[in-house]
Amino acid sequence: MSLTRTTCPYCGVGCGVLAGADGTIKGDPDHPANFGRLCSKGSALGETIDLDGRLLHPQIGGQRATWDSALDQVATKFSDAIRDHGPDSVAFYVSGQLLTEDYYVANKLMKGFIGSANIDTNSRLCMASSVAGHKRAFGTDTVPGTYADLEEADLIVLVGSNLAWCHPVLYQRIVAAKQARPNMRVVNIDPRRTATCDLADLHLRVAPDGDVALFNGLLTYLADHGQLDMAYVTAHVGGCEATLAAARASDPLQSGAAPEDITQFFALWAGTKKVMTVYSQGVNQSQCGTDKVNAILNCHLATGRIGKPGCGPFSVTGQPNAMGGREVGGLSNMLANHLDIENADHRDTVQTFWNSPTICTQAGFKAVDLFDACAAGKIKALWVMSTNPAVSMPNAENVAQAIKNVPFVAVSDIMARTDTGDLADVLLPATGWGEKDGTVTNSERRISRQRAFLSAPAEARPDWRIISDVAARMGFADAFAYDSPADIFAEYIVLDAATRPFARDLDLSIFADADYAKLVPTQWPRNDVRFFADGRFYHADGKARMLPVQAPVAQQTGLTLNTGRNRDQWHTMTRTGKSPKLGAHLAEPYLEIHPVDAAEIGIAHGDLVEVHNVQGRNILRALVTDRVASGQLFAPMHWTRQTARGATVNALVAPVTDPFSGQPALKRGDVSVQPFKAE
């Protein structure tokens, strides 16, 4: 059996996989993300490639239809809505599961040919706060670090990141590095005592959203102990004085961490040159997520701990291609190649390159606002691609109702039945992992190929082709006459060249002469480039910015629900749910609750409990554990209306968002819990 070199479709680590049509799965020993390692999810990929439950034919109104009739209907409904209500009356909601070529074509159609920026992505739920924080600090959305930097660090600070479960191979690399270098230290900052604590020398159990107070406190400590690198700040960083003044207004005890742990953490940070601070959803998914990111970046900038080996802030992305989506403008507030919608020169350059009839002139709806617009009747035609917002969005019951409120809904998916697909007027069968070709970018800016090793089942087609076929029917055939993802990738690389000098950090010239078929995993701008090594950033004056940020006022009143992920499931389980091996890890929806709270409510370990608030109601199995602090709860978000008792966990989260990034605060739902009584 010959094996195909491809990339895992789950998390943002982006591991290389050797895969065979018989279900053989091996880690790719030559891929620089994993060097042959795979986690439980990646290892079980062979159990998820059968056709059980697959959407194999187009459907209109629940009935099998031809591709021509389905594509005609999507094109007609979108064209009619644009004619009658304008370009902003239509929207795409896409996914970090899409390959970069799919993302590029969807973005081009919406922004350059429809003329709206109403294309947002479930990556808004994943890392939008990091994007906003990077842009505020660096002038661009640049992730400066690499996985190798983590192995070289003397102190790794993990913030809001259960790396052991959510980025397991990266976690394994840190475990191996720590074994090889016993002086390496790991600090884990998290309200929960997660599996990642097994690796940590110190766990700071902060309160929800306690991170800003903690990192403001760290900045103050560094200043008071003569640890700021003022020569570096003077040469390369603006805003230090005002930022320090704002930091001094915070009390690190507001973070909720124990005083002795705070003191130990500050001393460790101050006394270690090579510090990497790694953060993910616990930082990003917050109403102050962007401020949290900047509070972390402030400490690195103030001490010059950036742009050096083993040093710097590092945002890990949740999805396999969240980073690729950022690069091609998959967010509603960005153009392709990290360009800005608000900048007329950027818009003109992209429009000229696309030779498009129009170009969006203002940012579109971000995810939460997009579904609010659906509920308000502003969106007349919606196309959801490769994601399940009726489960994964906050306030998910209302999102399902909002989708029902849209006069025309198309859904492209690999599965016949999803909570969102059930609401569609037209279902479009997409090819899945192993059946499609394209590229993805992982958390360290490394572009890798996904390659097909299976035939497309029945009538399923790749997303780029479905989008291009609709575009052709809307009158844009010439601009979307692609024969392959290689064509699209080549156009994207030429666009990158055409957008210089506006594209500041994103430089894909290394791919200009690449053989797409043989493309090897490569970082942009080059494998050997270290961002910010010369102290030059991307604001107009060449400096970075420290940002004054204020700790939010503590507001916990009752029980706070933290939502997250299990080790062995991915998103809404459309693929990992097929694997008996993965399902055996944690087999049903559960709620972690502290023993004191459980006793107060009258709940025993293993009881069914009802979790509810104004947004919704869930029935979950109680796991009574001090992994969560008293007053806090945890529940995984994977189960759906179709697989769980009652509604979905994210239905319990209010649609509160960060004001800069629009990222929802999925880590904080105010809920009540009571014993479940069958009616």
> Using CB under 6 A as the criterion, which residues of the chain lie in contact with ligand SF4 when the complex forms?
8, 10-11, 13-15, 34, 38-39, 41-42, 167-169
562-571 residues labelled b (16+ CB within 10 A) or e (exposed): bbbbbbbbbb
Residue placing its CB nearer to ligand SF4 in the complex, 128 or 164: 164
Is residue 58 reached through a cis peptide bond, with omega within 30 degrees of 0 on the bond before it?
no
CB of 33 to ligand SF4, least distance (A): 7
Residue placing its CB nearer to ligand SF4 in the complex, 8 or 339: 8
Residue placing its CB nearer to ligand SF4 in the complex, 35 or 67: 35
Residue placing its CB nearer to ligand SF4 in the complex, 169 or 671: 169
Residue placing its CB nearer to ligand SF4 in the complex, 39 or 374: 39
CB of 421 to ligand SF4, least distance (A): 24
Reading across the β-sheet that carries 312-315, which strands appear in turn? 202-204, 185-189, 155-159, 275-279, 312-315
Residue 588, C-beta contacts closer than 8 angstroms, at least 6 positions apart: 621, 639, 644
CB of 99 to ligand SF4, least distance (A): 15
Residue placing its CB nearer to ligand SF4 in the complex, 11 or 427: 11
CB of 170 to ligand SF4, least distance (A): 7
Query: How many whole angstroms separate alpha carbon 143 and alpha carbon 134?
Result: 8
Residue placing its CB nearer to ligand SF4 in the complex, 10 or 103: 10
CB of 46 to ligand SF4, least distance (A): 13
Say if CB 317 and CB 442 are below 8 A apart: yes
The owner of tokens 């109601």 is 617
Query: How many whole angstroms separate alpha carbon 644 and alpha carbon 505?
Result: 44
**Alpha helices of 187-343 — where are they, by DSSP H?**
211-224, 230-236, 240-248, 259-270, 281-284, 289-302, 322-327
The owner of tokens 């700071």 is 204
Query: How many whole angstroms separate alpha carbon 12 and alpha carbon 281?
Result: 12
Displacement of CA 520 from its chain's centroid (Å) = 24
Say if CB 585 and CB 554 are below 8 A apart: no
CB of 7 to ligand SF4, least distance (A): 8
Residue placing its CB nearer to ligand SF4 in the complex, 165 or 232: 165
Residue placing its CB nearer to ligand SF4 in the complex, 208 or 564: 564
* Alpha-carbon separation of residue 468 from 106, 329, 452 (angstroms): 8, 17, 20
CB of 15 to ligand SF4, least distance (A): 3
Query: How many whole angstroms separate alpha carbon 393 and alpha carbon 163?
Result: 22
Residue placing its CB nearer to ligand SF4 in the complex, 147 or 221: 147
**Alpha helices of 86-167 — where are they, by DSSP H?**
100-107, 128-138, 147-152, 163-166
Q: Tell me the three state secondary structure of residue 585.
A: coil
**118 φ/ψ angles, rounded to the nearest 5 degrees:** -80, 60
Across the strands, what pairs with 619? 610
CB of 341 to ligand SF4, least distance (A): 31
Sign of CA dihedral 422, 464, 664, 145: positive
Which of 340, 329, 247, 254 minimizes the C-alpha distance to 294?
Answer: 247
Q: Hey, how many other C-beta atoms are within 10 angstroms of the C-beta on 500?
A: 13
Residue placing its CB nearer to ligand SF4 in the complex, 215 or 570: 570
Query: How many whole angstroms separate alpha carbon 634 and alpha carbon 636?
Result: 7
Enter the tokens of residue 173: 């690399």
CB of 274 to ligand SF4, least distance (A): 24
Q: Tell me the three state secondary structure of residue 604.
A: coil
Residue placing its CB nearer to ligand SF4 in the complex, 13 or 90: 13
CB of 444 to ligand SF4, least distance (A): 12
Residue placing its CB nearer to ligand SF4 in the complex, 163 or 212: 163
CB of 181 to ligand SF4, least distance (A): 22
CB of 32 to ligand SF4, least distance (A): 12
Tell me which residue has its CB nearest to ligand SF4: 42
Query: How many whole angstroms separate alpha carbon 408 and alpha carbon 424?
Result: 8
